Chain A
């Protein structure tokens, strides 16, 4: 039910992030970031399932692709979490 949103500043950066995840077998969907989550206006995110959170965190740790923000959606609200 729940999922994570990894933020990206542009569509291209989001696609690059999704591609990186895909190469490690993690399915991610590029989508627009909900307006309420972006202080700078339109932005992008890669949505990954709850089951992929740990492997995503491990993969992106210390890389330039690590997103600035990560949000968890529990079915009703978003809250920022540390990746």
Chain B
């Protein structure tokens, strides 16, 4: 199989991740719930994972690294904690439903959506500045579009938020493990990310980096301060009720270790190179339209495309039958497709990980060429 769906889940994981998951299933109990070896081992593993994440993402205090089930879970905590009914929120035109639906669920939220064309970060910044000047209470922005790989000028946007005193929530679903995501540089209120994409952890893992007060989304046992009727006041327990996903966390620890050893810059370079090869090959095929910009600061390892006369789902199915894994449709991001003008057609998306090769990108284009030729 040629797997090009890393933007959904990185299927190929470092061997250490798989081994850690299996080891945890066999040896780890509930962290923070006892004194025997299996619970202490779980506790130590969870703590090491927090420390590794804190080091990778520029967090001074590892207690503010909160485990979530995925990025959606973290975004729900952040948004529900910051956005009040009737609140004014600015978002980019490339948000995923993980941002949109939690916002739609809050009554009377006044949304300002940046109307930026694809791969125009300088225009996005200009529109963002204007939105802040007009007055907003919260900003929620994805760092990288999951459909097009377009990179938002997050450092500059974060600086504008700091100046305006507007809390910023960063959806780092597509940037964590690939781009520089640093809390100490961004000083965002929250940064949410999945563990199963660029961090190479298992599904069911995620991180919420906290730099702002919030309220819990789930209430329950934490193994601490049990007589309190409320959730504990301190992180991470305040936001982590119920038993932890220890196999997931143990795997995530190894995934983060892999990213730290490789370095995000090297991973990004590799993924861009693969995507660039794919985009160049795809552009040679008549009737194929490619949405991609490969220079640093604009795009990542994601290439979206459409083919004249082909429904994108049908095309992805045909590729699937030939052993190529891609995702087609609206990618849970209808707004992004509206911004790019592909709302009616959707796109087929290729997304690379550190485990893909240029050769696979060439093969991918060859297979597509055969499909559209017949």
Contacts and interface: CB of A to CB of B under 8 A. Distances in A.
Given A10-B236, A12-B237, A41-B227, A31 B222 contact: no
B62 A12 contact: yes
Interface stretch (B42-50, B249-257, B317-325): B42-50
Contacts of B46: 11-12
Interface string B216-252: 0000001111111000111111000000000000000
Contacts of B63: 10, 12-13, 16
B102 interface: no
Interface residues of B, number: 27
Interface residues of A, number: 17
A63 to B, nearest CB: 12
A9 B237 contact: yes
Contact of A9 (B43, B51, B234): B234
B153 interface: no
A39 interface: yes
A16 B223 CA distance: 17
Contacts of A19: 51
Q: Is the interface of B mostly helix, strand, loop or mixed?
A: loop
A42 B228 contact: no
Interface string B34-70: 1100001001101100110000000001110000000
Contacts of A30: 40, 43
Contacts of A23: none
B233 to A, nearest CB: 8
B35 A15 contact: no
Given A30-B43, A31-B35, A11 B224 contact: yes
A77 interface: no
Highest count of chain B CB atoms <10 Å: which of A12, A30, A43, A44: A12
Interface of B: 31-32, 34-35, 40, 43-44, 46-47, 50-51, 61-63, 222-228, 232-237
Interface of A: 9-13, 15-16, 19, 30-32, 39-44
